[in-house]
Amino acid sequence: MESAIQSAHPSPQKDRRKAGRVWAKLDLPLALHLASACSAAAASAASASAASSNPRWVLRRGKRESMTLFHFFNCAILTFGPHAVYYSATPLSEYDTLGTSVKAALVYLGTALVKLVCLATFLKVSENESFDPYQELLKALIGFIDVAGLYFALTQLTHRNISQNHKFQAVGLGWAFADSVLHRLAPLWVGARGLEFTWDYILQGLEANANLVFSISLAALGSLMWLRKNKPKTLIPIIYACAGIVATMPSITSYLRRGLGWHLPKVVGFELFTSLAMAFISWQLFSACQRPSA
């Protein structure tokens, strides 16, 4: 009777021995692999939770993010701030020439679209970064579409009752601001917020300042060419030569980068120096044309 009861209800010791025999039949390497994978997952989860709960790690991450935003805002102020300073520090703000600048910016956007279509149609994609004289000459010719756009902005748009001095400054300011927004805002937003610090975006802001001076100088020379009737004949070749130099400045800087192998800081320094020189020459020409003829 007792033997029948024991056979119907096996003891726990027999169950453990049977389970041990079943476990021994399993693939030992597979069991070890599963055990190691589970332990590694548990260790990584524990380390992640410990790092996220560590106040020093959180503080370091917050400092890194704040530094990237600080670098972005610094580069943005350097790129777009001079436009606002020029508008508020000159009589442009007193004569309410903001509408003229906005119209010039819209004309620039249309001009940039036409240039983009022409570049995509007539230029071929180069496989290397070498300087191609034929391609750069074609780019320079297409770049004169900017001169046509400035001509339209200065002569065909309806402006408020402002003088010629304020008109070309407002047009040049709107032109330069639209160029900075179109070519520099997206790279600045994407790149300047990166974790790795680089000087490229600071140099890009300095390049935007040089472009502001170039745009106002070209607008001043354009106003002398198209709006000033009684200018001295001896200054006409100088005015056209200076306007041609400013209009072909992108091709000149492209030759310095690709043809001569100049690095970005050297090219930006050249642009800053040339922009100041062209601004001085344009100011002297504008003053000479405003003097009463004898």
pLDDT in tens, 149-200: 999 998 887 766 777 788 899 999 999 999 999 988 888 877 666 656 678 8
Contact call for residues 240 and 137 (beta carbons, < 8 A): no
Outline where the chain has alpha helix (H).
2-8, 12-24, 28-53, 55-89, 98-122, 133-143, 145-155, 164-191, 200-226, 236-247, 249-254, 264-290
Handedness of CA 252, 257, 261, 265 (dihedral sign): positive
**Summary mean pLDDT of the chain:** 77
Residue 67 pLDDT > 50: yes
pLDDT for residue 293: 55
> Above 90 in pLDDT, residue 105?
yes
> Residues 65-89: what's their mean pLDDT?
82
- Averaged over 253-275, what is the pLDDT? 90
Largest CA distance in the chain: 143
pLDDT above 70 (res 56): no
pLDDT for 197: 65
Which residue has better confidence, 124 or 62?
124
CA 210 to chain centre: 15
Whether the per-residue pLDDT at 2 is higher than 80: the answer is no
pTM > 0.85: no
